[in-house]
Structure 1
Amino acid sequence: MLAQLRKRFSKIDKEIISDAIKWFGENVKETEDILTWLTENTTNLQQQHYLMYLVQLFGNKLGKTAILQVWSNCNQILVDTNMKLREICATSNLNELNVNEVIREMCLHILWNILKYPKHIKYRQIHKQALYNYLSKKCHTLGADFECVFVNMQELLQYYGFKVEDNDNWYCQYNHTQLLHLWNCYRSAIDQQIMYVFILLSIKQMI
């Protein structure tokens, strides 16, 4: 099955094909459908991985059409699409909204410190256990899903440019180009924060 799919979908990364087979429990039709969808809506390997990640994360709650629309509206930026899709799901699930807020608050804190003190090494290093403890406490306070928060937080750290060191902690190297990327991420998080307040107020009115 794997060999046949690789031959048929030669433009799709072989790792994604393997993931699709596992994800759909070797259901040939569903696997072919998702690979066809990726072929039609992506132009490079990075986009394939990003869209596959989003489908795995949100596919059970939102259809591929909705995911693709948000992806397009967010200019194919993973972090923005991720946040937006989470907020869409959160409109019917307050816990999801709290998950999003914990992640956003942590992201704003990390990004602001780096942008304010770009050459200070201590703001480019994140102790994994300290991050774990803080997020765990915050999730407990808000009643948010800690596992979901921690997994997505690590994904975002990678997107920001952090890498895991040998000691299992996170480190982000300094360069001018990256600062622009982080500034755009910060602006996006601020915009999402405003939307969060609006959605939270709307949900509380419905409860």
Structure 2
Amino acid sequence: MFAQLQQMYKTDEEIISKVAKWFGQDVESQQQHLMSLFYNFGNRFEKTTISQTWRNYNQIYSDTLEKLREMCATSNLNELKEENELKILREMRLHILWNILKYPKHIKYRQIHKQALYNNLFSKCHQLGADFEQVFISMEKNLQTIGFKKGNHGHWYYQYHHIQLLHLWNCYEIAINQQTMYYINKKLDSKNSVHVIEWKMERL
């Protein structure tokens, strides 16, 4: 390329050398910018996604950085929405299961009125900004897993005359193990600071 420039425009060696040096610095700078993007966003996106965004924005660092930050914000909102949906479902399962386990002979805890279920879920979804339709569909599947069956009028009834204690307890244990737990970690440093760390229990 530079040989052609020299031949076409009779550019002297000194100018060619400066141009080559400038191009080399520019390429190195671009590589550093791309590596910086990989470092800062590599834990959120695949490298192919970062590289494609980099190309889409003509390898301009500031524009690519702004776009990736925007993508992170959108991803965080989606994760929060999904987390809230799971939180609502988990709390409802625990509430239903605990009532049956604690009061196995009380008929009222074996029946769920469709409108009461609808209103309860709608209120919780509205408060947390969760997808009501998705939560409602998932909740119906959860009820079937627990042992409920939908009646003719859309109400839910526990279908077994004798409580399936072991199955209900297993369902309750699974729901408990999925919820976020907290523990105190006392860091042994000069400030003797105390940190609260959030973690999720995983079922083995």
> What is the TM-score normalised by the length of structure 2?
0.50
The structure having more radius of gyration, on CA atoms, is 2
> What is the TM-score normalised by the length of structure 1?
0.49
Larger helix share, 1 or 2: 1
- The one of the two structures with greater contact order (alpha-carbon pairs below 8 A, sep at least 6) is 1
